[in-house]
Structure 1
């Protein structure tokens, strides 16, 4: 039993957390009304364990390659049970690492867990939950702290608790957003810190806490995007979980709740289902919002063109829709995409500069000094364009220091591609090939979506949508066709999964020849006589993963793969590698 005065202080802490976490911002605009979290929260799809591709694929690729396999091998776990041993598990769980792509709902799952605890509904065996987001920890920079002073800085109630009583309680420390951290976690540093009052670097505090040297009685829960999660050695983690976002039923529920007009929701759902890449991207709740913004605008105006079917097309329309919103100096007049005023272009390109400069570094959270490097004045920018409140968030955190971020990583990647395309527009399209080749050499594929957007922007229809933002585009499509032909002949050494992104780039450039050839191949009765190149293998693997159809027979050993590089594996090995061995289960 805890001393009465200690219990009262913990009750005070619990009340403060309930007040802090009971509301959530619905929407992205500054000043947007807040609503009760329990009113809008939809249970997220969480699984135990990590898929193999989280360390080798871009986050969008993880969604795509896992789409089919997820129906076969998932081990779902409820958010409230994240720290509990499952039936048949006897080992205690002290450190939990939760991974998930950007926008999948990691922070919402943390907020829901803490709120349920603070309201006395779940996990009442835990005496104190102490949330410490990395975006807040970033703000104290290189300051030296003890674990005690760090907790007290962000949760002043603990200033009243005697140090010796800390180890009496069962405490959960929640570190949300490891991918947003600018700390370097060195688990090879042999310096041991075991005293909660010893001051040292924040990085050393965290590594010793995770390793169990510091406050070993405490539970630790860390959330992160997949690439950053690899910083923590598996030996230090007792449970790995993954937040998957929305499953198919939840996607449909989102769109039906979003529109009171049933006809509108049916039209949108029908369109999304017909584009597998868009439908799969809707596993990410933020992408559902992007989709509704674009399609609602297009279906309720006098738009007569085709609805977006590629990612570049969708994001190009999204950017234009945002620039047409809430322009204070335009009154009721809406400009067309070709009429972007100079202020809009300037702001968007500065945002693109910020996005591009930080993409390679892996930074997704920005501070005032980052904006100043790009000459970006967010206060001025908000007057010119809706993008600064709709896709670029300003959050006032602790110490009243603002923190900025794009509402989703894919928006950062798209604006980075717009900026790079603008910078190179007066040259030829050779740079597309150079960027593609560089991305193919990446082990994690961290540039894959950026490269897909770049190639999509070379298409004339997308250039028309963005108009003058891209500068004086070369409308001679023979340059684009030359790039397409070179892409199909790239001979640099690459892993099979990297080849899938070449196929994606071709689709973004609206070159559907490979797609049609694979469709003809699958329908052919004499498949063994058909020749498969490496790009065909990648396309075939991707299409098998995305398709809901089941082939009666697919003997990979019978394929003629003369198009493959001499040193490449046999086609069946390439395909099985790409399919993750799931083909047999679907046969």
Structure 2
């Protein structure tokens, strides 16, 4: 390993070899070298610091013969080094770099954290076990190095601190579904997630950052989802519900998705103040024949009938991919509700009547609709009866006569409408 030492590394090694450290200074020296390695931006000292920790072992000292001179490292000294590694919680480093602390423990031949995580992975009651930060680093390393791909990484399921959850982010590289947003990610957490996703764009196939506390402002979206530009990206599902997005976020998202139009297939942008201008940007994606979005959820995005006009025009030009469209509101909330009204549904029906339309599910809950909307929908289904299977109109204060035409279509074998919910 000596051939790879830089001048700086050699200086530190000479300090180590040229002095007989007493028991009070060796652990201090190793901690100082660890801190210096964390201050380097590219991690070029990480492997070297592991090597220095390995020199504490008598077996390694014997291998180096007389190079080290006289070294008398008592068990108490080694234990202080171990305690320093396990108890340091204030390192401002990335989750990837924090894994180096775990490696240093392994170099000293302390296998306790490794064994604890192995027992944790075998446990049936994982939620009861509270993980320390070093245990989270070890778990992240073991998960991402596993030959078996993790089906789901849900940070909410781990009993640890917010900082501990942040240290689990590297495991995103080896999971199919990543659910990360319910407790929120800090700005630095988003940086770490973006780095993990870029390093292995083939995984995960589903990213869920939904949650009231996820702080994905416009620049955060751009940084986080730059990985979508990678041709190797195979992200099927992107969920960003309640992430404080704005219409600017739609600009960023539309820009990066242009470069890899085949993915994602499912996009959930519900519960944001996107407004009509934000939907207009998304429609630039939908009208592109190369894009293959099959599910689009825009619940409670402060939309009006103008958004329906944009959507209908875009989908008419590229009608064959979309299978599910959700434009619902919630009667229990007064903010961000979609006020589509009957005029908005009339625009959407222009798309439903299109011969190329393959839409199977349409959700229009609590959108301020009346009998006229039901008539528009019934007429559209009569002209194109072969696709729509599920129609949700609950929350629009409709009565039996208002939905009679739709109810008749549901009963007719000539139509595929299997589910009609209006009360």
TM-score range, shorter chain: 0.3 to 0.5
**TM-score, with length taken from structure 1:** 0.28
Q: Return the index of the structure with the highest Cα Rg.
A: 2
Q: With CA pairs under 8 Å and 6+ residues apart, which has the higher RCO, 1 or 2?
A: 1
**TM-score, with length taken from structure 2:** 0.38
